[in-house]
Structure 1
Amino acid sequence: MILKGFKEKSNRKYLNKLLLNRDVNVTDTKIKSLGVIIHLQEVDDFELFRGLAKNLNIHSNQIKVIAFSSDKKNSNISWDICFCEKDFGWKGELKNLELQAFVDTKFDALISYYTKDEIELKLMTAKSKALFKIGIFQTDMRLNDLIIKTHINEFDVFKKELFKYLTILNKIKNEQ
């Protein structure tokens, strides 16, 4: 129990270090690949994001969705990747190779669609090498480049606002 507290403090310290040293370099490149991080207890429909990708003219093979589960029983659901707190070590170390591959992928955009204040979700967002990070309103504004303030259950509003802002930022590629 005490070690768990030390581990969480270690991970929070590592997260703050990541966010302080974050290089924000937003370009006008079009979004061709998309990564999505969700909390399984908040959203359990991955198809919402496949529809969003289609709306943004992103091919279905260019989207990767991962879900965090605070309930260890849900961690073997057979969607893309489901992870839990046991997949993290001290100082934000990832023990899961699939998670490491996800954060190492240079997605054109990353959507962090969660509101729960879970250190593991924040670490995944902060460690991601995505070029443009998008999220809904969270307690730490340093995580994302674009924040759309909606409730977690208002996905249609999020989708509409995201399309509007990405169009303004010239990030949506034309259909071919």
Structure 2
Amino acid sequence: MIKKFAIKHKLKKHFKSGLVAGSYNAKVLFLLEEGKFCKEEIAVAFTESFGEAYKLHFINFTEDHKKKKEFPQNYFTKTDFNLFGQLKNEETKTLLKKDFEYLFHFYEQENNYLNLVAAQTKANLRVGINKVKQDLVHIQLNLKEKNLPLYFKEAFKYLEIIKKSA
């Protein structure tokens, strides 16, 4: 209960101070909710639309502690946050210190743990599916029936327009 309150409080502080920008460095971060989206399918669909010039990074949130034990560098759970809402997972903290050109959110329901990680990420442009909190993204796109190729095709179109106008 206290942890949930602390997470929500930290999230509000991030919204007040604004999201941190990254740089145009061809690095992309994907935040995934385990079991809802497939990392490999996302990587293939992204590469088809954006090309192979980007270095892809993934952070997965899971409720399954066995999954985290198998792949500690790729997963985080609720237990990776302390009582004050601070992230304890060193691999995830290291990744969050990097700058990213794009951040893509892939989770279908409100998840304060993923939202807090997203708020702490340094990314120039943030893209989310229509169920992601609007304060965390610059662009929200509707993902119908998990049609990832179409989703990334549309994202590419909008992000290119934004980059040209910046």
Task: Give the TM-score range, shorter chain.
Answer: 0.7 to 0.9
1:132, 1:152 → 2: CA distance? 24
**Does structure 2 conserve the Cα–Cα contact (< 8 Å) formed by 1:34 and 1:110?**
yes
Q: Which amino acid aligns with 2:93?
A: Q
* CA shift in 2, pair 1:84/1:75, >3 Å: same
Unaligned runs of 5+ in 2: none
* Corresponding residue of 1:9: 5
Superposed, 1:156-171 pairs within 5 Å as 156-170=149-163
Q: Choose the corresponding residue for 2:74, options 81, 95, 99.
A: 81
Give TM-score, length-normalised by structure 1: 0.81
How far is the alpha carbon of 1:47 from its aligned partner? 4.2
Q: 1:38 to 1:160 in 2, by over 3 A?
A: same
Larger strand proportion of the pair: 2
What is aligned with 1:22?
18
SS at match of 2:32: strand
After superposition, residues 124-139 of structure 1 pair within 5 angstroms as 124-138=117-131
2:137 to 130, 144, 169: 144
1:45 aligns with 2:39: yes
Q: Over aligned residue pairs, what C-alpha RMSD do you find? A: 2.5
Deviation at 1:73?
A: 2.6
- Cα distance in 2 for residues equivalent to 1:153 and 1:51: 11
Equivalent residues of 1:65, 1:80 under 8 A apart:
no
Q: What residue in structure 1 maps to residue 97 of structure 2? A: 104
Structure 1, gaps ≥5 residues long = 172-176
Distance 1:79 1:156, change over 3 A: farther
Identity %: 22
Measure how far apart 1:157 and its partner are. Answer: 2.5
Counterpart residue type for residue 104 of structure 2: I
TM-score by length of 2: 0.85
SS at match of 1:156: helix
Q: What's 1:174 paired with? A: none
Deviates more, 1:40-49 or 1:155-164: 40-49
Q: Distance in 2 between matches of 1:95 and 1:56?
A: 33
